[in-house]
Amino acid sequence: MVRRQWHGVSLRFAAPLIGLLLLLAIWALGGWVLTQSPQGTAFAGFAPRPTFVSLARMIANGSLWQAFVPSIRRIGLGLAFAILIGAPVGVLVGHSAIFRQLTHVPFQLLRMISPLAWMPIAILAFPTWEGAIVFLIAAASVWPIIFATANGLQKLDPDWFKLAKNLGARPWNLLTIVILPAILQDILVGIRLALGVAWIVLVPAEYLGVTSGLGYAINDARDTLEYDRLAAFIVAIGVIGFALDGILLLLIRRVRWNSSS
Protein backbone atom coordinates (compact mmCIF):
# COMPACT_ATOMS: atom_id res chain seq x y z
CA MET A 1 0.00 0.00 0.00
CA VAL A 2 2.79 2.40 0.99
CA ARG A 3 4.74 1.45 -2.13
CA ARG A 4 1.71 2.18 -4.31
CA GLN A 5 1.21 5.58 -2.67
CA TRP A 6 4.90 6.41 -3.11
CA HIS A 7 4.66 5.42 -6.78
CA GLY A 8 1.63 7.72 -7.21
CA VAL A 9 3.42 10.67 -5.59
CA SER A 10 6.57 10.06 -7.66
CA LEU A 11 4.55 9.91 -10.87
CA ARG A 12 2.69 13.08 -9.93
CA PHE A 13 5.92 15.06 -9.69
CA ALA A 14 8.01 13.18 -12.25
CA ALA A 15 5.54 13.40 -15.15
CA PRO A 16 5.36 17.25 -15.24
CA LEU A 17 9.14 17.45 -14.83
CA ILE A 18 9.71 15.07 -17.73
CA GLY A 19 7.25 17.03 -19.86
CA LEU A 20 9.09 20.27 -19.05
CA LEU A 21 12.46 18.71 -19.88
CA LEU A 22 11.08 17.50 -23.21
CA LEU A 23 9.87 21.00 -23.99
CA LEU A 24 13.30 22.43 -23.18
CA ALA A 25 14.94 19.76 -25.35
CA ILE A 26 12.72 20.63 -28.31
CA TRP A 27 13.44 24.32 -27.74
CA ALA A 28 17.20 23.67 -27.59
CA LEU A 29 17.00 21.60 -30.77
CA GLY A 30 15.17 24.44 -32.51
CA GLY A 31 17.85 26.90 -31.36
CA TRP A 32 20.59 24.61 -32.65
CA VAL A 33 18.87 24.30 -36.04
CA LEU A 34 18.73 28.10 -36.32
CA THR A 35 22.48 28.40 -35.84
CA GLN A 36 23.21 25.89 -38.61
CA SER A 37 22.13 28.19 -41.45
CA PRO A 38 23.41 31.68 -42.30
CA GLN A 39 19.85 32.98 -42.45
CA GLY A 40 19.10 31.73 -38.95
CA THR A 41 22.12 33.01 -37.05
CA ALA A 42 20.47 36.40 -36.54
CA PHE A 43 17.76 34.63 -34.54
CA ALA A 44 20.14 32.65 -32.33
CA GLY A 45 18.94 34.70 -29.36
CA PHE A 46 15.79 32.57 -29.32
CA ALA A 47 17.83 29.60 -28.04
CA PRO A 48 17.46 28.65 -24.35
CA ARG A 49 20.90 29.78 -23.12
CA PRO A 50 20.78 33.43 -24.36
CA THR A 51 17.12 33.60 -23.37
CA PHE A 52 17.75 32.62 -19.75
CA VAL A 53 20.84 34.84 -19.54
CA SER A 54 18.73 37.76 -20.71
CA LEU A 55 15.91 36.82 -18.32
CA ALA A 56 18.31 36.77 -15.37
CA ARG A 57 19.65 40.17 -16.41
CA MET A 58 16.12 41.59 -16.67
CA ILE A 59 15.26 40.30 -13.22
CA ALA A 60 18.46 41.76 -11.78
CA ASN A 61 18.04 45.23 -13.30
CA GLY A 62 14.30 45.41 -12.59
CA SER A 63 13.17 45.81 -16.21
CA LEU A 64 10.97 42.70 -15.99
CA TRP A 65 9.19 44.11 -12.94
CA GLN A 66 8.72 47.47 -14.67
CA ALA A 67 7.03 45.73 -17.60
CA PHE A 68 4.99 43.40 -15.37
CA VAL A 69 3.36 45.99 -13.09
CA PRO A 70 1.42 47.93 -15.79
CA SER A 71 0.28 44.69 -17.41
CA ILE A 72 -1.01 43.13 -14.20
CA ARG A 73 -2.82 46.39 -13.38
CA ARG A 74 -4.59 46.30 -16.75
CA ILE A 75 -5.44 42.62 -16.33
CA GLY A 76 -6.80 43.30 -12.85
CA LEU A 77 -8.99 46.19 -13.99
CA GLY A 78 -10.25 44.32 -17.04
CA LEU A 79 -11.12 41.23 -15.01
CA ALA A 80 -12.75 43.34 -12.30
CA PHE A 81 -15.10 44.93 -14.83
CA ALA A 82 -15.74 41.52 -16.41
CA ILE A 83 -16.68 40.05 -13.02
CA LEU A 84 -18.89 43.01 -12.08
CA ILE A 85 -20.76 42.62 -15.36
CA GLY A 86 -20.48 38.90 -15.99
CA ALA A 87 -21.51 37.47 -12.61
CA PRO A 88 -24.86 39.34 -12.31
CA VAL A 89 -25.68 38.75 -15.97
CA GLY A 90 -24.80 35.06 -15.53
CA VAL A 91 -27.17 34.83 -12.56
CA LEU A 92 -29.95 36.34 -14.70
CA VAL A 93 -29.21 33.95 -17.57
CA GLY A 94 -29.20 30.95 -15.25
CA HIS A 95 -32.23 31.95 -13.20
CA SER A 96 -34.62 33.41 -15.78
CA ALA A 97 -35.68 31.27 -18.73
CA ILE A 98 -37.14 34.31 -20.51
CA PHE A 99 -33.91 36.30 -20.15
CA ARG A 100 -31.91 33.26 -21.26
CA GLN A 101 -33.97 32.83 -24.43
CA LEU A 102 -33.92 36.55 -25.12
CA THR A 103 -30.14 36.85 -24.88
CA HIS A 104 -29.00 33.50 -26.26
CA VAL A 105 -28.54 34.51 -29.90
CA PRO A 106 -27.13 38.02 -29.22
CA PHE A 107 -24.66 36.67 -26.65
CA GLN A 108 -23.50 33.86 -28.92
CA LEU A 109 -22.98 36.31 -31.81
CA LEU A 110 -21.04 38.75 -29.64
CA ARG A 111 -19.00 35.96 -28.06
CA MET A 112 -17.77 34.82 -31.46
CA ILE A 113 -16.34 38.23 -32.34
CA SER A 114 -12.61 38.42 -31.71
CA PRO A 115 -11.92 40.90 -28.89
CA LEU A 116 -9.19 42.47 -31.03
CA ALA A 117 -11.82 43.26 -33.68
CA TRP A 118 -13.15 45.86 -31.22
CA MET A 119 -9.79 47.64 -31.20
CA PRO A 120 -10.72 50.48 -33.64
CA ILE A 121 -13.96 51.10 -31.75
CA ALA A 122 -12.15 51.05 -28.40
CA ILE A 123 -9.65 53.63 -29.64
CA LEU A 124 -12.49 55.93 -30.73
CA ALA A 125 -14.64 55.36 -27.65
CA PHE A 126 -12.03 55.87 -24.92
CA PRO A 127 -9.98 59.03 -24.41
CA THR A 128 -6.86 57.12 -23.29
CA TRP A 129 -4.98 54.05 -24.49
CA GLU A 130 -5.25 52.60 -20.98
CA GLY A 131 -9.04 52.70 -21.13
CA ALA A 132 -9.06 51.05 -24.55
CA ILE A 133 -6.82 48.20 -23.38
CA VAL A 134 -8.87 47.59 -20.23
CA PHE A 135 -12.02 47.54 -22.38
CA LEU A 136 -10.52 44.94 -24.74
CA ILE A 137 -9.50 42.75 -21.80
CA ALA A 138 -12.96 43.04 -20.23
CA ALA A 139 -14.68 42.34 -23.58
CA ALA A 140 -12.58 39.19 -23.97
CA SER A 141 -13.02 37.85 -20.44
CA VAL A 142 -16.67 38.59 -19.67
CA TRP A 143 -18.11 35.64 -21.63
CA PRO A 144 -16.51 32.75 -19.70
CA ILE A 145 -17.75 34.33 -16.47
CA ILE A 146 -21.30 34.76 -17.78
CA PHE A 147 -21.63 31.21 -19.09
CA ALA A 148 -19.87 29.50 -16.17
CA THR A 149 -22.09 31.38 -13.69
CA ALA A 150 -25.25 30.55 -15.64
CA ASN A 151 -24.24 26.89 -15.95
CA GLY A 152 -23.61 26.65 -12.21
CA LEU A 153 -26.99 28.16 -11.39
CA GLN A 154 -28.87 25.87 -13.79
CA LYS A 155 -27.43 22.83 -11.99
CA LEU A 156 -29.06 23.80 -8.69
CA ASP A 157 -32.07 21.85 -7.47
CA PRO A 158 -35.22 24.05 -7.86
CA ASP A 159 -36.55 22.60 -4.61
CA TRP A 160 -33.88 24.57 -2.73
CA PHE A 161 -35.49 27.80 -3.89
CA LYS A 162 -38.96 26.58 -2.94
CA LEU A 163 -37.76 25.57 0.50
CA ALA A 164 -36.00 28.90 1.04
CA LYS A 165 -39.12 30.84 0.00
CA ASN A 166 -41.30 28.72 2.30
CA LEU A 167 -38.94 29.63 5.13
CA GLY A 168 -39.48 33.31 4.40
CA ALA A 169 -36.37 34.06 2.36
CA ARG A 170 -36.51 37.23 0.29
CA PRO A 171 -34.76 37.66 -3.09
CA TRP A 172 -31.68 39.13 -1.41
CA ASN A 173 -31.55 36.17 0.99
CA LEU A 174 -31.85 33.75 -1.92
CA LEU A 175 -28.94 35.44 -3.64
CA THR A 176 -26.58 35.66 -0.66
CA ILE A 177 -27.47 32.49 1.23
CA VAL A 178 -28.41 30.01 -1.49
CA ILE A 179 -27.21 31.11 -4.93
CA LEU A 180 -23.79 32.67 -4.35
CA PRO A 181 -22.42 29.98 -1.99
CA ALA A 182 -23.66 27.26 -4.34
CA ILE A 183 -22.19 28.70 -7.53
CA LEU A 184 -19.02 30.28 -6.13
CA GLN A 185 -16.90 27.44 -7.48
CA ASP A 186 -18.46 27.85 -10.94
CA ILE A 187 -17.79 31.59 -10.85
CA LEU A 188 -14.15 30.93 -9.97
CA VAL A 189 -13.91 28.44 -12.84
CA GLY A 190 -15.27 31.15 -15.14
CA ILE A 191 -12.73 33.65 -13.79
CA ARG A 192 -9.95 31.13 -14.38
CA LEU A 193 -11.03 30.68 -17.99
CA ALA A 194 -11.41 34.44 -18.34
CA LEU A 195 -7.88 34.98 -17.04
CA GLY A 196 -6.52 32.67 -19.74
CA VAL A 197 -8.34 34.60 -22.46
CA ALA A 198 -7.38 37.99 -20.99
CA TRP A 199 -3.73 36.98 -20.72
CA ILE A 200 -3.72 36.07 -24.43
CA VAL A 201 -5.40 39.34 -25.44
CA LEU A 202 -3.09 41.45 -23.26
CA VAL A 203 0.02 41.32 -25.45
CA PRO A 204 -1.54 42.41 -28.77
CA ALA A 205 -3.67 44.96 -26.91
CA GLU A 206 -0.50 46.51 -25.50
CA TYR A 207 0.77 47.03 -29.05
CA LEU A 208 -1.47 50.10 -28.94
CA GLY A 209 -0.07 53.51 -28.07
CA VAL A 210 1.21 52.67 -24.58
CA THR A 211 4.87 52.76 -23.62
CA SER A 212 4.76 50.18 -20.84
CA GLY A 213 3.73 46.60 -20.23
CA LEU A 214 4.77 43.16 -21.40
CA GLY A 215 3.27 43.58 -24.86
CA TYR A 216 5.09 46.87 -25.39
CA ALA A 217 8.34 45.28 -24.17
CA ILE A 218 8.00 42.44 -26.70
CA ASN A 219 7.27 44.90 -29.50
CA ASP A 220 10.26 47.04 -28.45
CA ALA A 221 12.57 44.01 -28.36
CA ARG A 222 11.43 43.00 -31.82
CA ASP A 223 12.01 46.48 -33.25
CA THR A 224 15.54 46.60 -31.76
CA LEU A 225 16.29 43.02 -32.93
CA GLU A 226 17.06 41.90 -29.34
CA TYR A 227 15.72 38.41 -29.83
CA ASP A 228 17.15 37.08 -26.58
CA ARG A 229 15.23 39.75 -24.67
CA LEU A 230 12.11 39.04 -26.75
CA ALA A 231 12.31 35.33 -25.93
CA ALA A 232 12.93 36.15 -22.26
CA PHE A 233 9.72 38.18 -22.12
CA ILE A 234 7.84 35.32 -23.79
CA VAL A 235 9.11 32.92 -21.11
CA ALA A 236 8.20 35.42 -18.39
CA ILE A 237 4.66 35.78 -19.77
CA GLY A 238 4.23 32.01 -19.72
CA VAL A 239 5.57 31.63 -16.18
CA ILE A 240 3.53 34.54 -14.78
CA GLY A 241 0.36 33.30 -16.49
CA PHE A 242 0.98 29.79 -15.17
CA ALA A 243 1.43 31.14 -11.64
CA LEU A 244 -1.77 33.22 -11.79
CA ASP A 245 -3.69 30.22 -13.13
CA GLY A 246 -2.27 28.10 -10.31
CA ILE A 247 -3.48 30.58 -7.69
CA LEU A 248 -7.01 30.46 -9.08
CA LEU A 249 -6.88 26.66 -9.28
CA LEU A 250 -5.97 26.52 -5.59
CA LEU A 251 -8.94 28.77 -4.78
CA ILE A 252 -11.26 26.56 -6.83
CA ARG A 253 -10.06 23.45 -5.00
CA ARG A 254 -10.55 25.11 -1.63
CA VAL A 255 -14.13 26.08 -2.39
CA ARG A 256 -16.23 23.02 -1.66
CA TRP A 257 -19.94 23.41 -1.24
CA ASN A 258 -22.75 20.92 -1.30
CA SER A 259 -26.16 20.50 0.25
CA SER A 260 -24.71 18.76 3.32
CA SER A 261 -22.33 21.67 4.13
13 in a structural domain: no
Residue 165 forms part of a structural domain: yes
Residue 12, domain member (yes or no):
no
Cα–Cα nearest to 186, from 255, 98, 125, 117 = 255
Longest dimension (CA), the chain: 79
Cα 77 to Cα 70, 83, 108, 164, 208, distances in angstroms: 11, 10, 24, 35, 17
Give yes or no for a contact between 155 and 95, defined as CB atoms under 8 angstroms apart. no
Q: Is residue 20 part of a domain?
A: no
Number of domains in the chain: 1
Domain-located, residue 242: yes
Assess contact for 182 and 255: CB atoms under 8 A: no
For the segment 51-62, the average pLDDT, to the nearest whole number, is 90
CATH code: domain of residue 166 = 1.10.3720.10
Q: What is the mean pLDDT of residues 226-237?
A: 90
Return the higher-pLDDT residue of 6 and 183: 183
* Residue 145, in any domain of the structure: yes
Confidence of residue 259 (pLDDT cuts 50, 70, 90): very low
Q: Specify the pLDDT at position 115.
A: 85
Residue range 122-137: average pLDDT?
89
Expressed as residue numbers, the domain containing 236 is 45-254
Classify residue 248: in a domain, yes or no.
yes
For residue 4, is it within any domain? no
Mean pLDDT of 120-125: 87
For residues 34 and 47, the answer to whether their CB atoms sit within 8 Å is yes
Q: What is the mean pLDDT of the chain?
A: 82
